[in-house]
Structures are given as structure tokens and as C-alpha cells.
Amino acid sequence: MKYGRIIGTAIILGGIFFVNSALGGTLYKWVDEKGVVHFSDRKPESPKKMKGSIEERNVVDSQPVKKNQSPKREFGARSPIEYAINCTFTIKGSKSLGTGFFLSPDGFAVTCRHVIEGDFNQVALLNDQTKFPISVISMSRNHDLALILVMASSQPPHLSIRDPGTLIPGERLFAIGASAGLQATITDGVFTGFRKLKKTNGQVIQFSAPVNPGNSGGPLVDEKGRAVGVVSMKYRKRRGIPVSGVGFGVLSRHIKEEYGDYLPQE
């Protein structure tokens, strides 16, 4: 299959440490001498090299999901798109605003690399307005993707992933995210095709759903609520002419390639 090449102006919409994935127990928060915020299930080994005091948070164990139980019913969703909304959250930091979505009931989630790069004081704001700390697990070197852990107090709903190679031009798609700072905004459009851009490595998915700053990292889903991409950037101008309805996303198959070990077995 041949893929087109677009040349124009695209705009991005938008101390790594590992924390135990267990959701129960005590969580410790502190700021080190360099100003980096840490979250861990253990107290710092060198408390002298930190600013301020250690903050303790009690995290409650969540109940396991029963087999053969529909997650859409469990989380009160009336449609696949509403369920997909429940799987997303807003990422707020001192320098950034973006979106993420859950990949597993353990709290592992994905967003765009540019959303979490350089900002170590971010929280996940769920749609019920509860806030939870975020731990950055991995930032992809090949794609605008990052794996994070949201230390929520219960098991969240999570999205399933569809191979974007099965998409048909004209198929309806929905972008979900904190568009222009408005949490859980839904915009719809259609799948256009795959493109190659100068600012990306490999292919990206092109879609027509309107997106704005804050959408970065949010899911691009089909009518069944399955993620086919991660909203990453859009065209603002081309040859000096304003452009609308031309967005691009990281292909969902790259999530499986990069973070397949963190996905639940289907």
C-alpha cells in the first residue's frame, strides 16, 4: 500500500521513577533537593536531601473485576462512547494540560510523550473530579507515546485496542479529551488515511474530528469505543493558509508494540 506525504506546518497539542503497581498500602510523596516530586511506597533513603516534609497517603485496595462481568454495565455506561469517556482522564501539571486513557484495571495508562515531558508535578483528574498522582513508567523513543501509572483508589475501566489497519476511509471516529481545557469533550469526524510527516517516525493516522490544545494523549475511538489511535497533533496552517479538520494520531498498534506487557490478556 502506498502512503501519501504531507508537507506543512503542524502544531503539537499539548527524573522518571518506577512505583510498585499494587494499589493498596501507604504512598509517600516528597520533593528532592532538585525540586523533583517523588511518589513511592517506600520512604526516601536520604531524607536530608529533600525539601519540606514527607506526605503520607493511604491507598485502599480495589475489588477485582469478576469474570464474565461486562465492564460497560459495571461502570454505568449507556453506550460504547460513554464507556470510552469513563476510561479517559485529564492530565494537569504546572506546565502542561493533556489527556490520558487507561489500558488496564491496574491503573496503567497511555498519553503522549510531549504531555508529560519536562513536567514532574502532574496529577490525573478523573471525570468524577477525583485527583490521583501519576508515575511515569516509560517514554517511547520511537513515537509520541508514554506509559504512566495512575495510583487510583479503585480499579478503573479501560479501553480495548483495535488494529488501525482494519479502518476504512470514511469510517466514523471520535476524539475524546480535555479540548481547550474542557474535560471529556467529544468531537467526531472520519478516518481519512495514513500519512508520513516530517516530524514523526513512520506512519500516523489522519482524521477529521476537530481537536485543540488539551486533546493530546486522548483516545481516538471507533463507534464501538475501541482505541485506534492516540491524538497527537493537528495542522494549523499550510503555506500560510489556516487549516481545520486535519488531525493526526499515533497508531494504536504502537501501544501494543511498546507496552504490550502491561495490557490485560484478552
- Give the separation between CA 21 and CA 257, rounded to whole angstroms: 21
- Active site annotation includes 32: no
**Candidates 96, 135, 144, 254; catalytic one:** 144
In the annotation, is 144 catalytic? yes
- 96, 216, 232, 252: the catalytic one is 216
N-term to C-term CA, the chain: 29
Report the distance separating Cα 257 and Cα 76, nearest Å: 31
Assess whether 114 carries a catalytic annotation: yes
Do the beta carbons of residue 234 and residue 192 sit within 8 Å?
no
* Amino acid making up residue 232: S
The closest of 100, 105, 124 to 219, measured between CA atoms, is 100
**Catalytic: which of 114, 143, 158, 254?**
114
The Cα 82–Cα 219 span in angstroms is 13
**CA 183, CA 127: separation in Å to the nearest integer?**
8
Put residue 76 in one of left, alpha, beta given phi > 0 → left and psi -120 to 50 → alpha.
left
Active site positions, annotated: 114, 144, 216
